[in-house]
Amino acid sequence: MEEMIDALDKLCKFRSVAEETGNPEAPYGEEVHNALMYVLGLCEGFGMRVKNCDNKIGWAEIGDGEEMVGILCHLDVVPEGKGWNTEPFSATVSDGKIFGRGVVDDKGPAIACIYALGDIAKRRIALKRRVRIIFGQIEEKGDWEDMEFYKQTEELPTFGFTPDGDFPAIYGEKGILNLKFSMPSEKSGIISAKGGNAHNMVPDFADITLNIGGKEATISEKGVSAHGAMLEMGENAITKAFLKAYEMGSDSAFVKFYKEKIGDNLYGENIGAGFSDDKSGRLTFNVGLLSADDKECSITVNMRCPVTYSGDEIEEAIARECEGYGVSVERTEWTAPVYMDKDKGVVKKLTGVYQEITGDISEPKVIGGGTYARAMDNIVAFGPCFPGMEITEHCKNEYMPLDKFLMLREIYREAIIRLAME
């Protein structure tokens, strides 16, 4: 137990917030690269075969056989934000919990999978398929250049899982659409502005400087950060700042647009995006980033879209609503949804493992989050969040209950054996 916690602590100490650097030795930043080198060394210590793939991605593998089970993890994290009660970049055990950026998303699960695979290697369990942990480095940025490189240069898994969702399993993930709404600063009425840490986080701060009643005023608001797929758990500081500017009598064109077409609605209904379906529920609409300088005022919106709708039809509906406001709409990301049969294949097998070990008969579900399950065929999001567990990834004071973290090792070990043997 202490050894696994110590390994997690060492991994958490890397502030692995990914940025594309152009440096071939560390293409997503030195800290992300160091995190990759650390886990590859850890895996090598368990006797696994390891490979650093041009510093863009890495893998560790055990076993033999023509087919391969894949476990897709990521080592990058979202920015820490403010207001932590513990050191964000450390795995701190306190009051039966482990605190630290990444302990849930996705460093804790990665360490649990490494130790689960190490257990199998130590016990010399004969497997019918190879098992490979693939370590991504830029999952949180959304473009997944690391996984694209892997798919072009390395062997693809037959099937597998990513430990980056919920138990008992995830059989569907909503589409993810990011749009940038912008206006020339001279027309926007905004002098300067900054808000949010990442497009896929509910922003916990916003500062807007603009003219109100002929005088320059700065509005500063604080919010509560949360995962971009779980808006109801947060409080959007950017929204608070714009609505306050409106209440104070601002005649800014961008403030008017925000008030009338976005407001404090979490589901995009004011801007023509009130889509929903029976399979995955309602679209969610998060204004994650705000920026303004002497050239442009913009916000970036992160939407989680029902599985039966395309990015094109949602974007077109939104663009129609923006006509007449002088606001440009630019797509910065579209990730198609994932939807599988929950009663067949890998989903059914993984659900069975979880239910047998825990005694919990919860059913698989659809989520708004985006995982590496989208990156390759036949990959299922499987843990690490247990039903009823407080959701803290992308939030300050991210934590996982200590007993749940230790249980991950057993669940992932049995899941790997089941997938590699049956």
The half-sphere exposure of 419 on its side-chain side, counting CA atoms within 13 A, is 34
Between CA 268 and CA 235 the distance in angstroms is 16
How is 340-384 classified by DSSP, letter by letter? Answer: --TTSHHHHHHHHHHHHHH---PPPEEESS--GGGTSTTEEE--E
The parts of the chain modelled with pLDDT lower than 50 are none
What pLDDT, on the 0 to 100 scale, is given for residue 370?
Answer: 81
Return the SS3 of 186.
helix
Contacts of 172 (CB under 8 A, 6+ apart): 279, 280, 307, 337, 338, 339, 340, 365, 366, 367
Q: How many CB atoms lie within 10 A of CB 95?
A: 8
The pTM score is: 0.80
What pLDDT, on the 0 to 100 scale, is given for residue 368?
Answer: 86
Q: How many CB atoms lie within 10 A of CB 264?
A: 12
What pLDDT, on the 0 to 100 scale, is given for residue 369?
Answer: 79
Q: Are 361 and 169 in contact (CB under 8 A)?
A: no
Return the SS3 of 219.
strand
Q: Which of 134, 137, 156, 158 shows the shortest CA–CA distance to 146?
A: 137
Between CA 163 and CA 139 the distance in angstroms is 13
Q: Are 159 and 379 in contact (CB under 8 A)?
A: yes
Q: How many CB atoms lie within 10 A of CB 382?
A: 31
**What end-to-end distance do the CA atoms of the chain give, in Å?**
29
Between CA 170 and CA 346 the distance in angstroms is 11
Tens-digit pLDDT profile for residues 88-107: 999 999 999 999 999 999 99
CA dist 306 → 170, 172, 174, 339, 364 (Å): 15, 10, 5, 11, 17
DSSP 8-state secondary structure symbol assigned to residue 201: B
Can you say how many angstroms the Cα of residue 402 is from the centroid of all Cα atoms in its chain?
A: 22
What pLDDT, on the 0 to 100 scale, is given for residue 1?
Answer: 74
Q: What are phi and psi of 171, to 5 degrees?
A: -105, 0
Contacts of 409 (CB under 8 A, 6+ apart): 4, 112, 115, 116, 119
What pLDDT, on the 0 to 100 scale, is given for residue 81?
Answer: 87
Between CA 406 and CA 408 the distance in angstroms is 5
Tens-digit pLDDT profile for residues 315-363: 999 999 999 999 999 999 998 898 888 898 999 999 999 999 999 999 9
What pLDDT, on the 0 to 100 scale, is given for residue 176?
Answer: 93
Q: Are 101 and 11 in contact (CB under 8 A)?
A: no
Tens-digit pLDDT profile for residues 306-324: 999 999 999 999 999 999 9
Q: Which of 109, 31, 184 shows the shortest CA–CA distance to 393?
A: 109
DSSP 8-state secondary structure symbol assigned to residue 307: T
Strand spans (E) along 320-413: 328-335, 338-339, 365-367, 379-381, 384-385, 399-401
Q: Are 371 and 389 in contact (CB under 8 A)?
A: no
What pLDDT, on the 0 to 100 scale, is given for residue 153?
Answer: 98
DSSP 8-state secondary structure symbol assigned to residue 374: G
Q: Which of 29, 41, 22, 59 shows the shortest CA–CA distance to 140?
A: 29
Total residue count of the chain as it appears in this document: 422
